[in-house]
Amino acid sequence: MRNKCGNGAAPITSTADYASKFCVIIDAGHGGSDGGTVSGKIIEKDINLSVALKLKTILEDNNIEVILTRNSDEKMSLAQRTSVANDSNADFFISLHCNYYEDDAQIAGLECYYNSPDATESKAYAESIIHAVSLSNDVKTRDAKTENYYVLRNTQIPAVLVEMGFLSNYSESQKLLSDDYQEILAQRMAEGIFNKIKGDENS
């Protein structure tokens, strides 16, 4: 059976809260025979999964329900990933990736993509995440911008794709391997998500 938000085993006393609990799909890009971007011994799929698991822990610690599209090193099609989102009752989809730019090894920084200017909810998440990450002294950020990615185009809930940094940039690639840096990334992205949710509650 497909994971469905709100259908898990929850304590009886909190059933009402549980039914309305905010639910996030975290998609660790690539997996299995699809390594994604590779730089030396650094394989994108491993960083994506590692940060996804850290982000999951932080969100769950803050009473947000999480579904992972993959929780191990397995290959999944893009259609399978969007199916996880579309078959759930989730509120938000976030796909995690690492970038590579062969023409300029100096380029660095985290980017966040949403599908189109019309996707106002997705755009708001993307901008909130970029803002939260930009407040960190540890992480360089670039922009929130549009891109017609499959997982964004075919996900029926607000969706963003985060390129967490450039493996083509040596120093950023070394940071992306570090557990501490991955923890900072996860914490900041989580704050961006929290701020967006709080903003909605207050408006």
Measured CA to CA, the distance from residue 70 to residue 201 in angstroms comes to 30
CA 135 to chain centre: 18
Residue 13 beta carbon to Zn ion: minimum distance, rounded to whole angstroms:
41
Residue 48 beta carbon to Zn ion: minimum distance, rounded to whole angstroms:
7
Catalytic residue among 44, 65, 163, 191: 163
Name, in order, each residue with C-beta under 8 angstroms of 10's C-beta and a sequence gap of 6 or more: 18
Size of the site for Zn ion (CB under 5 A): 3
| Choices 24-32, 108-116, 118-126, 152-160 (CB under 5 A): range interacting with Zn ion | 24-32
Indicate whether 123 belongs to the interface with Zn ion (CB under 5 A): no
Using CB under 5 A, which of 18, 26, 28, 36 touches Zn ion? 36
Of the candidates 62, 118, 63, 129, which has an alpha carbon nearest to the alpha carbon of residue 94?
129
| Choices 18-26, 92-100, 179-187, 188-196 (CB under 5 A): range interacting with Zn ion | 92-100
- Alpha carbons within 13 angstroms on the beta-carbon side of residue 42 total 23
- Annotated active-site residue 172? The verdict is no
Indicate whether 29 belongs to the interface with Zn ion (CB under 5 A): yes
Residue 51 beta carbon to Zn ion: minimum distance, rounded to whole angstroms:
12
Q: List own/partner pairs for 35-39 with CB under 8 A and 24 or more apart.
A: 36/97, 36/98, 37/98, 37/99, 37/100, 37/167, 38/167, 39/100, 39/167, 39/168, 39/173
Using CB under 5 A, which of 81, 97, 140, 196 touches Zn ion? 97
- Residues engaged in binding Zn ion (CB under 5 A): 29, 36, 97
**Catalytic positions, please?**
163
